[in-house]
Amino acid sequence: MHDWNSPTELQRDIDITTKLVNIWMGLYLWEMVTSMGFERAVIKKMRVLQWQTAPYFISRYSYMIALLCYGTVMNSMSRANCSTLHAVFFFFETSIVFASTCFALRTMAIWNNRFVTRGLWTIVAGHAVLVVISTLQSRAVWNESLAACVYLDPSRAYLIVAIARVYTVVLDALILTLNVYKLRVGFMASRDKGQRGLVWVLLEQGLIYFIIAFLCNVTAVGFLIWKPNFLIGIIATTPASMFTVIVACRSVRNLSDFVAQECQGAYRLPTIATGPMEFTNSIASEGEVRNLTKIIHEK
């Protein structure tokens, strides 16, 4: 029977993890470079910067910081770099929390229900608290035999990662269920062509992104359950986090682009839950796009 915890196997797993991290860094940096149009639009004031866009930027750049730091640690293992893993873990988990917040805000806007809104905010807050606790509990030390950084208490660190990932899966499943139900009802009830167009964008693109995020995190949980050793157990968490952040940010940008096109034609965009809303000609002509919650529910 293969010994997954032998020094030789662990060293090989470290090498594999390092190569994979380099691949994830390349993919994510490419995604960042090719999607900077949103940031440029904000800087040029073509889009209104409001508090609802904060989760987008925090998630996007927290993951970039985490991935760059993680890549640096894995490619230049040293005793001094072990303390960096503490910050890496925090930024990874922060990016996931705010990616889930992007999805949650979209869901709140679709439902426009105070009970759903309060419930989702409570769950998101619980996720944030879990991240703070997990960060305080994770400590890495230098292992001479492996010449690598390892967690001081691998079992506790592993348990914390598993709990955080399962929490994310449950939150994604809840958001996915809420969106499937509400958007299906909204699409079936919509008679206006423009309204059906907006609902279809939310349904088609939103649900695809929700499903991708959900499946990525389920895969990560699968590896956590399998756990032949600590490294293999968490090897899927990095790409799962990356794809979750990417699809969450794309969902924000795509909806913003859709509404921007409608605004340029001074289109009268209806809401799913509360009825129609008007965009003024001045807003349309200036190309300003309101955030998702404002777009769907502001009258």
The rounded distance, in Å, linking the Cα atoms of 162 and 137 is 14
- Residue 2 inside a domain? The answer is no
Write out the residue range of the structural domain in which residue 103 sits: 7-297
Which pLDDT value is given to residue 28?
95
- Give the least confident one: 4-13, 235-244, 286-295: 286-295
- Residue 114 inside a domain? The answer is yes
Cα–Cα separations (whole angstroms), residue 140 to 75, 83, 150, 157:
16, 6, 5, 10
- Residue 136 inside a domain? The answer is yes
Which pLDDT value is given to residue 274?
37
Which pLDDT value is given to residue 110?
78
Whether the predicted pLDDT of 251 surpasses 90: no
- Give the least confident one: 150-164, 177-191, 239-253: 177-191
Which pLDDT value is given to residue 8?
84
Which pLDDT value is given to residue 155?
74
- Residue 86 inside a domain? The answer is yes
- Residue 233 inside a domain? The answer is yes
**Residue 238: CB atoms within 10 Å:** 22
Cα–Cα separations (whole angstroms), residue 219 to 120, 166, 175, 248:
24, 11, 18, 17
- Residue 1 inside a domain? The answer is no
**Residue 227: CB atoms within 10 Å:** 14
| 149 membership: H or E segment, kind and range | strand 148-151
- CATH number of the domain at 247, please: 1.20.1070
- Residue 165 inside a domain? The answer is yes
Whether the predicted pLDDT of 297 surpasses 50: no
Contacts of 173 (CB under 8 A, 6+ apart): 214
Question: pLDDT tens digits, residue range 59-95?
Answer: 999 999 999 988 888 887 777 677 777 778 889 889 9
Whether the predicted pLDDT of 293 surpasses 50: no
Tokens representing 51 are 């508090």
Which pLDDT value is given to residue 158?
75
Instruction: Report which of 204, 208, 207 is spatially closest to residue 258, judged by C-alpha positions.
Output: 204
The rounded distance, in Å, linking the Cα atoms of 79 and 147 is 9
The rounded distance, in Å, linking the Cα atoms of 293 and 253 is 14
Cα-based angle 209, 97, 168 (whole degrees, multiple of 5): 65
- Residue 133 inside a domain? The answer is yes
In the chain, the number of structural domains is 1
- Counting every residue written for the chain, the total comes to 299
pTM of the predicted model as reported, rounded to 2 decimal places: 0.79
Which pLDDT value is given to residue 101?
93
Which range of 7-21, 134-148, 186-200 scores highest in mean pLDDT? It is 7-21
State which amino acid sits at residue 231.
L
Cα–Cα separations (whole angstroms), residue 223 to 61, 125, 169:
26, 26, 14
